[in-house]
């Protein structure tokens, strides 16, 4: 291709890109985080990042709230969500059902690591009735939460001669709700993400056991609603975000980001069988 033709081609491509950007500039990108906390707390966590993305992309970004993990995943599959903030287990479950999900970035934790642990927590020195597991009340987040059924069950089985199925476990919703239920005496044990064990330690929450480390929370794109150029632009904006900006985001996402690949999450299959998770949200009597 001659020099003149290359210039014509480049100019035509630029015009097409401008037309494309103009066509979608007013359509908001829909970003849905998992409900790790209550609605107001989640909004405070993510609003600064949403505003930064909108400003850098020149396109509005809308924060979508769903109260349950499965609602987020179903909306993603239905094409009502463009970007989802997910833990590793919800992502693997989604990938089983929806091949168009692709990782964008992973968030780094406060310790500078891109991995985290699930904690089995209790209140102070209270001794749970482990001799009678059928009387043991265990608070869980949600069925598809990484630190929900599978994460808590893996810690229990590593320390006691019984499984979560033998206890009176109950799904309570968010990590915050589980922590508060244990503090209030509504559950003897609870399963939460490590940052929530730290967050409520000053109220008497103590760690009774840890899981193995798992890949950190991440953002995932929906290839059925976003083209590769838009996904690449989102990744580039986030990875180029300076610390002076992201340090003012929510506590879960303010410590930096790294690129993410599908293979990062494969090791989580050893955590347990996703398809064996009881999906009921009410109390289970062991």
Return the HEC string of 149-209: HHHHHHHHHHHCCCCHHHCEEEECCCHHHHHHHHHCCCCCEEEEEHHHHHHCHHHCEEEEE
CATH for 118-211 (3.40.50.300, 3.40.190.10, 2.60.40.10, 3.40.630.40): 3.40.190.10
**Distance in angstroms between the alpha carbons of the first and the last residue of the chain:** 73
Considering the chain, what is the average pLDDT of its residues? 87
pLDDT in tens, 138-152: 999 988 888 999 999
Q: How far apart are CA 201 and CA 169, in angstroms?
A: 22
Name the H helices within the chain.
3-24, 39-57, 69-77, 88-97, 149-159, 175-183, 194-199, 228-239, 243-246
The domain defined by 26-111+216-271 folds into D-Maltodextrin-Binding Protein; domain 2 (3.40.190)
Domain limits, the chain? 26-111+216-271, 118-211
- One fold for 26-111+216-271 and 118-211: yes
Burial class of residue 18 in the structure, from the number of CB atoms within 10 Å of its CB (0-12 exposed, 13-18 middle, 19+ buried): exposed
pTM of the model: 0.73
pLDDT in tens, 104-149: 999 998 888 888 899 999 999 888 888 889 999 999 998 888 899 9
DSSP-derived secondary structure letter, 28: P
């Amino acid at each position: 291709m001659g020099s003149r033709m290359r210039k014509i081609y480049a100019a035509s491509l630029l015009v097409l890109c401008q037309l494309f950007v103009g066509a979608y500039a007013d359509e908001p990108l829909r970003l849905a985080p998992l409900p790790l906390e209550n609605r107001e707390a989640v909004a405070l966590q993510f609003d600064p990042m949403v505003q930064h993305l909108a400003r850098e992309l020149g396109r509005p970004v809308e924060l979508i709230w769903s109260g349950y993990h499965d609602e987020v995943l179903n909306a993603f599959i239905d094409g009502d969500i463009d970007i989802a903030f997910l833990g590793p287990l919800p992502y693997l479950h989604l990938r089983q059902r929806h091949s168009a999900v692709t990782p964008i970035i992973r968030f780094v934790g406060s310790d500078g690591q891109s991995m985290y642990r699930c904690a089995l927590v209790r209140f102070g020195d209270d001794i749970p009735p482990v001799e009678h597991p059928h009387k043991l009340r265990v608070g869980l987040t949600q069925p598809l939460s990484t630190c929900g059924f599978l994460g808590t069950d893996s810690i229990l089985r590593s320390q006691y001669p019984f499984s979560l199925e033998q206890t009176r476990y109950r799904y309570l919703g968010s990590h915050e709700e589980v922590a508060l239920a244990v503090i209030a005496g509504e559950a003897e044990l609870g399963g939460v993400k490590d940052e929530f064990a730290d967050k409520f330690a000053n109220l008497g929450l103590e760690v009774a056991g840890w899981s193995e480390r798992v890949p950190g929370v991440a953002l995932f794109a929906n290839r059925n609603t976003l083209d590769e150029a838009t996904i690449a632009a989102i990744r580039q904006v986030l990875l180029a975000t300076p610390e002076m900006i992201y340090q003012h985001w929510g506590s879960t996402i303010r410590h930096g980001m790294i690129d993410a690949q599908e293979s990062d999450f494969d090791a989580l299959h050893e955590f347990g069988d996703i398809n064996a998770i009881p999906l009921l949200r009410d109390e289970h009597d062991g």
